[in-house]
A = this chain, B = another copy of it.
């Protein structure tokens, strides 16, 4: 008798166990949908006027506001998780599914097909709470990105990595500026002139999504190999430079005159120096030894420090995420202690990021994309520019560093993933009035498509066979 399940041993008991494990897993996924849905169904059955009354009252009473917030939490976290699991089944990184779910829960899909349900689930009072959770998730995520950037630069991939990072940045950035200058008249936001708009498009095209890259590398078992390490290092260095560029663009766009600009630049440097020098030294001293502090105190210092650094930069007029990234850079690389800190913070960030995806999804309406030849042409132009400059630029630099053709192409494809980081940058650009709503939607599609193509393209190149070190 052949066992029905792949990987199960021939004994019937083991096969039964395998089947019951699958059944349990399916039940687990089912619970994520069933709980919120059953809750709503039970409610609608038993309190026929409950839902409508709540919507009518604008959920002003304390009880209803609390209920809406909690149910929204359940739907957002559960939905993101489910979409992530589905994405993994389809050979994509989990984060891609979570992003798509965030966009789907917004005006793009849910508000279009079920406006009452949308208004019931996300009344105005709930949006503020979602943004708070998104804010916390994002600063913790940027703190993690900073820590990972330091860890990747610890690998000795020096000159080659720097060359690739520089190329991966300058080629798309220059091309982005050129394209941006030609589009500024039609798509610039209220606060942007053609120069700041073009600079922003340059930034947007040159971003590489560090965490998505890391996830793709893990999925393909490439983290140990030279290609994987080089691309991680290059992405870390490139992202650092990108955030500096973005800061300058934002300062330029505030347009308070040159004196204010220089004062802001000076303040930024003082803040960065303060976090990267005295704070870093004290942190290294405090967290140096394994026996020094309890896990819980370490975690508190991480959260307090991240919040304080972000708050500091936000007050100085620089974006708060830059402060969180800087604090991540200042955090000492210390494996034994890192292992204690990592899971809890990453778990929190992971649970909270869906709120950012939802907030992002609420602010963008892909259905509003003008499906005219002109708009589609612009999207195609940006997509082709983004992919070609990134893939070819990186591949050429990698070839120049002595990699073979396949490795170079893989490297280029890997750094083309823009994912989550790009969404953060686009959100900032949209909020600051650098790009208008249409350009926001167009660049969102470009970011999603470049991320979606990374896994399959690299897999097709057969790079997954590269032996891990």
A residues apposed to B, CB below 8 Å: 21, 24-25, 27-28, 31-32, 34-36, 38-39, 42-43, 46-47, 50, 54, 62-64, 66-71, 73-74, 77-78, 81, 128-129, 131-133, 135-136, 139, 267, 270-271, 274, 279, 282-283, 285-289, 291-293, 296-297, 299-301, 303-305, 307-312, 314-317, 319-320, 343-344, 347-348, 350-351, 431
Query: Bound state CA distance, A69 and B31, in angstroms?
Result: 34
Other 6 A-B pairs with CB < 8 A, given A28-B286, A73-B304, A348-B351: A27-B282, A31-B305, A47-B315, A64-B315, A66-B314, A71-B307
CA distance A27 to B278 in the complex (A): 13
Within 8 Å by CB of A267, from B34, B47, B303, lies B47
A67's partner among B27, B35, B314 (CB-CB below 8 A) is B314
Contacts of A70 in B (CB 8 A): 135, 139, 307-308, 310-311, 314, 320
With CB as the reference atom, state the residue of chain B lying closest to A67.
B314
CA A279 to CA B25, docked complex, whole Å: 16
Q: Which residues of B contact A64 (CB under 8 A)?
A: 314-315
Knowing A128-B132, A308-B36, A314-B66, the reply to whether A292 touches B77 (Cβ < 8 A) is no
A69: B residues at CB distance < 8 A: 132, 135, 311
Copies in the complex: 2
> Using Cβ atoms and an 8 Å threshold, which residues of chain B touch A296?
347, 350
Report if A303-B351 is in contact (Cβ < 8 Å); known contacts: A139-B70, A292-B25, A308-B70. yes
A304 near B132 with CB under 8 A, answer no
What distance in Å separates the Cβ of A296 from its nearest Cβ neighbour in chain B? Answer: 7
Selected from B27, B43, B304, B311, the residue in CB contact (under 8 A) with A77 is: B304
Knowing A64-B315, A267-B47, A297-B81, the reply to whether A292 touches B71 (Cβ < 8 A) is no
A67 contacts across to B, CB distance below 8 A: 310-312, 314-315, 320
- The answer to whether B316 touches A43 (Cβ under 8 A) is yes
A34 to B67, CA, bound (A): 38
Contact B35 A285 (CB under 8 A): no
Q: List the B side residues contacting A288 at CB < 8 Å.
A: 24
Task: Note all chain B residues with C-beta closer than 8 A to A319.
Answer: 63
**Given that A70-B311, A128-B129, A311-B67 are known contacts, is A35 also in contact with B305, CB under 8 Å in the complex?**
yes
The answer on a CB contact under 8 Å between B307 and A32 is: no
Instruction: Report whether B314 and A27 are in contact in the complex, using a CB–CB cutoff of 8 Å.
Output: no
- Please determine whether A136 and B73 come into contact, CB atoms closer than 8 angstroms: yes
A292-B24, A303-B351 are known contacts. Are A308 and B39 too (CB-CB below 8 A)? Answer: yes
Assuming the contacts A27-B282, A311-B70, A344-B347, asked whether A77 and B317 have C-beta atoms less than 8 A apart, the reply is no
A291 touching B63 in the complex, CB below 8 Å, given contacts A27-B282, A70-B139, A74-B304:
no
Distance (whole angstroms) from the CB of A262 to the closest CB of chain B: 13
Residues in B neighbouring A286, C-beta threshold 8 A: 24, 27-28, 31
Q: Do B136 and A320 touch across chains, with their CB atoms under 8 A apart?
A: no
Q: Could you list 28 A-B pairs, sorted by A, with CB under 8 Å? A: A24-B286, A27-B282, A28-B292, A28-B293, A31-B304, A32-B304, A34-B282, A35-B304, A35-B308, A42-B312, A43-B312, A43-B315, A63-B319, A63-B320, A67-B311, A69-B132, A70-B139, A70-B311, A71-B311, A73-B311, A74-B304, A74-B305, A77-B307, A78-B308, A81-B300, A129-B131, A133-B133, A347-B348
